[in-house]
Amino acid sequence: MSTQQSKEEFYQLHAHLCKALAHPTRLLIIDELRDGPRSVSELVERLGLRQSNLSQHLGILRDQRLVIARRDGQTVYYSLRDPRVTQAFDLLRQVLRSVLREGERLAIAN
């Protein structure tokens, strides 16, 4: 743990990272960025959000270094910083699907 990091601090940071993923809108954003960078206005349009709200969510993802913002003129393009984030994303989605399948099975059994 290079930069003098206590165990508690590390778990705290990890939790912050998870918290940044813990909102449906931010998950939608990440999914939207899978195929490459998107500008804020593109995201506004495709997700149908208020600009301010989207910008706040992007800020949260930025703070946790989950996305990178590249500026080109007046438009800012966001992209994913690390493919492992989407890998984790997909793993959890698989878990979710398996949980849903199981819930369904139990619903039928009862």
Binding residues (CB under 7 A) for DNA: these are 19, 22-23, 25, 39-41, 44, 49-53, 55-60, 69, 71, 73-76
What number of CA atoms fall less than 13 Å from residue 22's CA on the CB side?
6
In the complex, least distance from residue 13 CB atom to its own copies, rounded to whole angstroms: 6
What does the block give as tokens for 44? 């506004």
Q: Which is nearer to its own copies, 34 or 91 (CB)?
A: 91
Distance in angstroms (rounded) separating the CA atoms of residues 36 and 6: 36
Binding residues for its own copies restricted to 57-86, rule: CB under 8 A: 64-66, 82, 84-85
Q: How far is CA 34 from CA 2, 8, 52, 57, 110, in A?
A: 31, 32, 22, 17, 40
DSSP 22: -
- Which positions touch its own copies (CB under 8 A)? 2-3, 5, 8, 10-19, 21-24, 26-28, 64-66, 82, 84-85, 87-89, 91-96, 98-104, 107
